Amino acid sequence: MRGNLLLLAVLALLAYAIPGLWPGVFKHDLVAQCEGAPVDGEACFELGLQYEAGKERKEDQSLANKYYLEACDAGYGGGCNNAGLQFANGRGVGKDPARAQSLYLKACERKFGMGCYNAGNMFLNGEGADKDQARSAALFLQACEADYAEGCNNAGYQYLNGYGVDKDEARAMKLFRQACDSAAADGCDNAAMLYEEGDGVEKDAAQALKYRLKACEFGSGDGCLKAADAYEDGNGVDADGAKAVELYVKACTADAPSGCNKAGAIYSHGNGVEKNLARATKFFQEACDKGLAVGCYNLGNNYREGDGVTQDLKQAFALFVKGCNGGDMSSCNNIGFFKQHGVGVEIDLPEAASFYRKACDGDDDIGCFNLGLLYADGNGVEKDDAKAATLFQKACELKNAEGCNRAGLRYDSGQGVEKDPKRAAGFYQQACDAGSMSGCRNLSIDYFNGIGVTKDSGKAFDLASKSCNGGSADGCSLLGDAYSTGTVVGKDTIKGLELYIKACDLGSAVDCNQAGYQFDEGAGTAVDHGRAIVFYQKACDGGSAMACDNLGRSFFNGTGVKEDPKKALDLFVQSCNGGFNQGCQDAGQIYADGSAGKPDQAQATAFIVKACDQQRAESCKSASERYEKGLGVEKDSDKAAAYIARACKLGLKDDACEKEQGSD
């Protein structure tokens, strides 16, 4: 918190005298007044202002300095101060910090508060004189006593931190309030910070908000921003999205780009205001234009999705590049994603890995996770299970729930790390706690089996329930198994079916197939072949090769649907191509019998051999018989013998296998 306090001296900002700050704009000859006897110091000062600003007279910094010095010599403190500024900045004269400091001190001696303030800054920063925090504190107090509000603020900073004075938080607060009461926005912001942190005062969110609003009123973008945060979060005041967005817009106008970005976020989500994606885009654009990298990221996402603007993937990519170059690691991650998947740009896996690495090095959890996936699969980088495991663990440390789950899987399987079920369970627990329902499901399995943890059926059931209720299809499937088998809870096939259907609705093709099978067989429900067809179709469309085979059998037998052998054959072929050996066998049988047209023994043999290649023992026996008889192929006793040998090796119980074993 200390480092965030607003201290103009730390920033080395020096106050300038501004035309119109003092009364008495002279209508007649200022030169005569300045050069008369006695010298009119105020007239000399006004002349200096006119030459410096180049408005009433042609700009001439040398003449400005001349008249400021004459004003100073005539006893006018403002002249000493502004002459000091000219020497500090080398305007019209050679840069001379020591001379500047001497002039500031002279201004201060003449009770000119801004001079005390500028002299204090010089001592605080060691410019024009040795660094001296005690002198700077004393000068800031003099500035404050002379009603220069920023002096009160800077004196407060020194008392708060004990710089050159005894640490005194109560006095610091008093000085910040004094600065604020004199319309110094920094003083208001600092008083608010003390109330927020409870430094020298009791924490008080309502008081903090009061001072933030004052700071905002006096032009502090940060004050508007923090006040808006309070209204958005309901901190010290009732939550009010409309008021929050009003203040964020003020912050944006006051050159606080985070205000632009946050206004955009509120309009994006419709928090307390009507959702307006076009307005959100406008504010994100403004934030990005003002150099806020996360504003470019949010604007890029709007172009990516077409939210509030016409979708433009190339523009989205360009904005992510700008965000990444500005230090937003989520933008770097998105560049990696675009390059990995060819979104708006050419696919370039090594480049994708490079940007994921940059994001990860900047502690972006998703970047670490995505880079881990590349190393796990060997995409764009050499496959490296150890690096993948390390990256998943880093993602987990950065609070990425799925990173924790993947780290757990690595320790479960021993991929890239030494197998350690206990550590795996620990990562699953972290994943589950962080919201990964897959993590909850995996931890449930560990508790059910006592792997890495003490076996606990109750915890296993609770975790499976949490996973399912959180939207994990695998969790619902696991819970369905528990009810269907009665292994963790009382057996309840009706409840089991309900859970398989829920898992199906959540996208699990395997569970759609299971639901179809139960409707076919009347397990946990009345037999309903029509509903079975619906679930088989959904499962087959979702990639379940077994479901395609089951659906094919329904069409072949006319169960729940009109008999259609040709449709059945298509489904058996689809099942076979999906890697389900029974589908290959069924396709081969149809070709052998000619059930869907003319018999085709060559095709029959091809599919039966494919079923054998997919480790179906009975199909290997059939392939042997077909080579023995020359069905769709030339007779070949050697191949016939080889296929029966494979069948036996796969566990076929047959007389031929007993003979084979006897001959061995």
Q: DSSP class of residue 83? A: H
Q: Which sign does the torsion angle of CA 363, 369, 372, 374 carry?
A: negative
Q: pLDDT tens, 290-348?
A: 999 999 999 999 999 999 999 999 999 999 999 999 999 999 999 999 999 999 999 99
Q: Packing angle between helix 133-145 and helix 149-161, nearest 10 degrees?
A: 140
* Closest residue by Cα to residue 331 from 236, 498, 339, 31: 339
Angle value at C-alpha 138, between 137 and 141, nearest 5 degrees: 85
- 1-218 CATH fold: 1.25.40
Q: pLDDT tens, 565-590?
A: 999 999 999 999 999 999 999 999 99
Q: Is the pLDDT of residue 87 over 50?
A: yes
| Distances, alpha carbon 324 to alpha carbons 95, 296, 318, 391, in Å | 39, 9, 10, 20
Q: What is the CATH number of domain 493-563?
A: 1.25.40.10
**What is the band of 613 on the pLDDT scale with cuts at 50, 70, 90?**
very high
| Kind plus residue range of the DSSP H or E element containing 79 | helix 77-89
Q: Which residues contact 68 (CB under 8 A, 6 or more apart)?
A: 44, 45, 48, 79, 80, 82, 83, 86
Under CATH, domain 564-664 is a member of which superfamily?
A: Tetratricopeptide repeat domain (1.25.40.10)
**What is the band of 654 on the pLDDT scale with cuts at 50, 70, 90?**
confident
Whole-model pTM: value is 0.81
- 328-394 CATH fold: 1.25.40
Torsion region of 107: left, alpha or beta (phi above 0 gives left; psi -120 to 50 gives alpha): alpha
CA distance linking residue 81 with residue 114, whole number of Å: 7
Domain ranges for the chain, please list them.
Answer: 1-218, 219-319, 328-394, 400-470, 493-563, 564-664
In the block, residue with structure tokens 């990696």? 336
CA distance linking residue 59 with residue 649, whole number of Å: 101
What is the pLDDT at residue 37? 86
What is the domain class of 219-319 according to CATH?
mainly alpha
**What is the band of 659 on the pLDDT scale with cuts at 50, 70, 90?**
low
Q: DSSP class of residue 3? A: G
**CATH 3.40.109.10 matches 400-470:** no
Q: pLDDT tens, 366-401?
A: 999 999 999 999 999 999 999 999 999 999 999 999
Whether the CB-CB separation of 136 and 164 falls below 8 Å is answered with yes
CA distance linking residue 108 with residue 116, whole number of Å: 5
CA distance linking residue 651 with residue 646, whole number of Å: 9
User: By three-state DSSP, how is residue 84 classified?
Assistant: helix
**Do 400-470 and 219-319 have the same topology in CATH?**
yes
* Closest residue by Cα to residue 49 from 65, 37, 33: 65
Whether the CB-CB separation of 86 and 65 falls below 8 Å is answered with yes
